[in-house]
Amino acid sequence: MPYYRLKDLIKAIRACKTAADERAVIQKESAAIRTSFKEENNDARHSNVAKLLYIHMLGYPAHFGQIECLKLVASNRFADKRLGYLGIMLLLDENQEVLTLVTNSLKNDMNHSNMYIVGLALCTLGNISSPEMARDLCAEVEKLLGSSNTYIRKKAALCAMRIIRKVPDLQENFLNRAKNNLNDRNHGVLLTAITLIIEMCYKNPETVQTFRKTVPLLVRHLKTLVSAGFSQEHDVTGVTDPFLQVKILRLLRILGKGDAEASEAMNDILAQVATNTESSKNVGNSILYETVQTIMEIQSENTNAVQRHRNIILDCLRDGDISIRRRALELSFALINESNVRVLTRELLAFLEVADNEFKQGMTTKICLAADRFAPNKRWHIDTVLRVLKLAGNFVREEILSNFIRLVSQTTELNAYTAQKLYASLKSDISQESLTLAGVWVIGEYGDILIKGGNFEEEELVKEVTESDVIDLLESILAGPYANQVTREYVLTALMKLTSRFTSISSIQRIQAYIEKYNTSIEVEVQQRAVEYSNLFKFESIRPAVLERMPIPEVKEEVVRQTEDTGSLLDDIGPVTATTATPQNAKNDIMNLFSSGSLLDDIDPVTATTAAPLNAKNDIMNLFSPGPTTPTTAPVAPTQNAQQTNALDSLGLLGLGDQYVAYNKNGFKVSLNPSKDPNNSNILNIEVTFHNVGVGVTVQNLLFQAAVPKTQKLQMQPPSSTSILPGATAQQTIRVANPQKSNVRLRLRIVYSTPTGAKVDEIAEFNGFPQEIW
Amino acid sequence: MCNVLEHGEHKVIYKRYASLYFAAGIDCEENELYVLEVIHRYVQLLDEFFGNVCELDIIYNFDKAYYVLDELVLAGELQEPGKKSVIKHINAFENACQLDIVTRNVENSIV
């Protein structure tokens, strides 16, 4: 039984419990509708088409209703026409030939006496017209665009927009009328006229010329909107007609681009909009978004004008929305000049502190470039680059670093100051690679000045730095968890230079002994340096001459290219993006282990992310040290460290400390053998031994993970073997950096499988180290 | 969840109202926050038209929901920024349709 009313059909469909039920109901009804259509029942047609449209919305075929819609449109009844046009818009699109049959109805209805019917026709044409229909009905639309009825003018403007989209050549017909509509007081007409003009300008750049003269008019409109008081009709939560404001801003953007005069005319209003708009709600933000985009695109060579917006842009740096922050950042860099460089750099440095890592690389380059170009004095320049290194040293490009070193050597009067500052920063933080490299180089070059002390204006008392303090610092860098091959090379060279800068014999001997340790380093470059330097000690006469101060390099032109954001910078340095994935995953793995609210926190996330840029350089280094790839459990452990530690180990570190049993289950025992590192009292070496005492079968795929409290840092070497035969053992060395001398607690995860198919995945805690050990 | 999703070369902007999601598809050039405002304006209009609109209202009167949309947006662009004006026209058209039906019935009955 067919459902006569739409409401009943909908009820019936919603009552169906299963999809099959629904299909059945709909099939039955479709058949009924088809039959009814064949009977040419005029009265029921409305209802049938309505039902058909509902069925179509649910996704079932409804093409047989297309002609019926045409018949509805041809009818005289308003309701029929309305539904008929809706049906056409839903069931047809410009690719269907049936659409051309509608053209005649459209033409007639556009001349209808009732404005709503005219509106219907314009709506249909505007939504789905094909190029042919556009051509046919262009004249009608043109006429309606000049109608005295605002309702019709609005719709005609948007319909014209569609026509131009489909047939760009027809643009000229609408130019004048569009321009006239700009003077209208009705917001709807104004809005649609601006939309039409925007489309014209997109399609045809010459039109932009024509409309540039309207900029003052648009500025006036915008001004009225911004400074008008509360308007009942157009208010949206406190903002007057945001829709119109956004459209005007968009058009101003198009007109102002590349034209100084137009840009000048709109600067004031842009500043006004940006400052007065409340950004607590989305409404305000949509306007601000458009404003910032406009400010960015208009003529910016005349930066004086844009300077007025500086404060707003700096505020935008702190906005909650990341797209706004990104755009504000780009704009800030463009704004820097001699007069505002200090203020802007201060803001940008503050932003660098909290910026996401993706921004940091681009930012460091641009800040240093700006500092290079606009620095008011050398001391400020050095301070700025120092601050950048401290905040984001791991994201600094090599060229920036070498520029900095060149700058330092050129500024001889500030050598003492720079050396002191770098020494102080290194004492507190050796995790930033570039900072370490710069600091080590400067300390090596100017170690004598550093020792001499002396003072510089204002500032606190110069701290007394002794030779052994400096050597201690360099040694701790070498032994620390952040040292990689490049760092080691730098430190060795710096130590060597210090032998001719320092005077006390004990220091020189200490340095000599330390360098000799690296004579057997696995890293070829490091070994070469160590051996050569050690040999140099035999040639006392020429040693001082060799290690003299470096000559000051000449001023070099700016070689650093201006690059876009992180994209191309990363291509330079290598596949960093790939390697960032793994350390992060490593971090997450360990994070997941200890999610059950434990006392022990996870590995400090900094170590995980700093590994990323470093790994890129190490890709080449890895050619020389093809050790076993470190398991993901050791985020900060490129293979070089493994070799270096073993070198130190061979000097007798494997002490006979006590064995502590951390885990003993199912015949698998894990014991820990701690010993203090002789070179660095903050570091505790732990030799982990895995005993396959009574498992009975081979232990395979051994995976050992560990975590330490947040104040400590952990470094893990690969195990000697991941397979342990019954009765055999395997070893793995881990090192814990414990600068705060707090209790060394470990949380361990032991994973292994056996040939019989058993899998073991256990977590254990160990807290039993005696106090003397750490 | 962010209101803006990227879908190939286009974007989908959506806003959630109770259990309903109103979504709009736009291209990359469009101001996303502006579209959010348009969506909100549409929902406000539905609310005004149906009087405290709920999901069932939209289901059983989907054609009217389309008529409201056609008064607000044409060819993908906003027609009328003023709420009152849109409501006025929608109601006027409704009345015109009703009047038309009544007139014809009267005419038919006379005939």
Name the residue among A187, A169, A188, A189 with its Cα closest to residue A179: A189
Cβ-based contacts of A122 with chain B (< 8 Å): 74
pLDDT band at residue A71, thresholds of 50, 70 and 90? very high
Q: Does A739 score more than 90 pLDDT?
A: no
Q: Does A70 score more than 90 pLDDT?
A: yes
Lowest mean pLDDT among A21-25, A245-249, A346-350, A545-549: A545-549
Number of other CB atoms surrounding residue B23 within 10 Å: 12
A154 touches chain B (CB under 8 A): yes
Dist. CA A740–CA A745, nearest whole Å: 13
| Residues pairing with A734 in the sheet | A686, A716
To probe the interface with A, which of B6, B36, B79, B94 has the most A CB atoms within 10 Å?
B79
pLDDT band at residue B78, thresholds of 50, 70 and 90? very high
Name the residue among A200, A123, A198 with its Cα closest to residue A167: A200
| Record: contact A159-B74, CB cut-off 8 A | yes
| Record: contact B79-A188, CB cut-off 8 A | yes
CA A755 → CA A271, A388, A533, A694, A697, distances in Å?
A: 73, 54, 53, 15, 7
Q: Does A631 score more than 50 pLDDT?
A: no
Question: What integer pLDDT is reported at residue A635 of this predicted model?
Answer: 38
Question: What integer pLDDT is reported at residue A169 of this predicted model?
Answer: 92
A155 touches chain B (CB under 8 A): yes
Dist. CA A244–CA A228, nearest whole Å: 14
Dist. CA A348–CA A346, nearest whole Å: 5
What ranges make up the beta strands (E) of A111-168? none
Interface of A with B in 288-327 (CB under 8 A): 289-290, 293
Cβ-based contacts of B103 with chain A (< 8 Å): none
Dist. CA A43–CA A47, nearest whole Å: 8
Cβ-based contacts of B92 with chain A (< 8 Å): 116
**Dihedral, A115, A116, A118, A120 alpha carbons, nearest 10:** 170
Q: Does A369 score more than 50 pLDDT?
A: yes
| Record: contact B75-A126, CB cut-off 8 A | yes
- Output the six-digit token pair for A319: 């906005």
| Record: contact A243-B38, CB cut-off 8 A | yes
Please give the helix or strand (H or E) that residue B5 lies within, else none.
strand B4-7
Question: What integer pLDDT is reported at residue A542 of this predicted model?
Answer: 82
Question: What integer pLDDT is reported at residue A316 of this predicted model?
Answer: 78
A116 touches chain B (CB under 8 A): yes
Question: What integer pLDDT is reported at residue A411 of this predicted model?
Answer: 83
| Record: contact A290-B31, CB cut-off 8 A | yes
Cβ-based contacts of A126 with chain B (< 8 Å): 74-75
Q: Encode pLDDT of A170-187 as tens digits.
A: 999 899 999 999 999 999
Number of other CB atoms surrounding residue A492 within 10 Å: 26
Question: What integer pLDDT is reported at residue A395 of this predicted model?
Answer: 85
pLDDT band at residue A302, thresholds of 50, 70 and 90? low
Q: State the ipTM, two decimals.
A: 0.96
